[in-house]
Amino acid sequence: MTFLYHGAMDLPARVVLATDHAGFALKEAMKVFLIGKGVDVIDVGTFSEKPVDYPPVIRKGCAAVLEQKCPGIVFGGSGNGEAMVANKMPGIRCALVYSKETAELARQHNNANVMSLGGRFTDPNAAKQFVEVFLTTDFEGGRHKKRVEDIELK
């Protein structure tokens, strides 16, 4: 998936956000950050810290990523469960991101279209850096193209 960029700092025009209760605070911080950069944010929830099961919310977010043809960010306590749910959806390649390097490689080598962040383990200032790297890094293609194509179950 090639992201549709809108100009400023080469951020995509639109980004989908989805979270459970444990990732709510980090989602809200990234939402403010992205809107401040001029990005159109589609927030599919959740909208509070009230406990909620994450699979339906993450599936809704990934469906929006595919429908809107834009990147997504999912959030949870650790981000692991959210990444697992996301990766069950055909067309989604979700990477658990915990550093600028993992954000960059997820895009360069894996053409990830969704990143997962753990709200209990990711500092909001660090998350801003991870998000910016993920959203502004292009897929390298080349030797990685065949590998990425082989990810989808046939």
Closest alpha carbon to 95 in 84, 106, 104? 106
Amino acid at 32: V
pLDDT exceeds cutoff 60 at 109:
yes
Q: How far from each other are the two terminal CA atoms of the chain, in whole angstroms?
A: 19
What are 13's two structure tokens? 């025009």
Active site residue 144: no
Q: pLDDT tens, 36-83?
A: 999 999 999 999 999 999 999 999 999 999 999 999 999 999 999 999
Is the distance from CB of 13 to CB of 6 less than 8 angstroms?
A: yes
Catalytic residue among 21, 28, 82, 132: 82
Q: What is the pLDDT of residue 5?
A: 46
Domains, the chain, with CATH or none = 10-149 (3.40.1400.10)
pLDDT exceeds cutoff 50 at 120:
yes
Higher pLDDT, residue 119 or 2: 119
Catalytic residue among 6, 49, 104, 109: 109
Q: What's the pTM?
A: 0.93
Active site residue 49: no
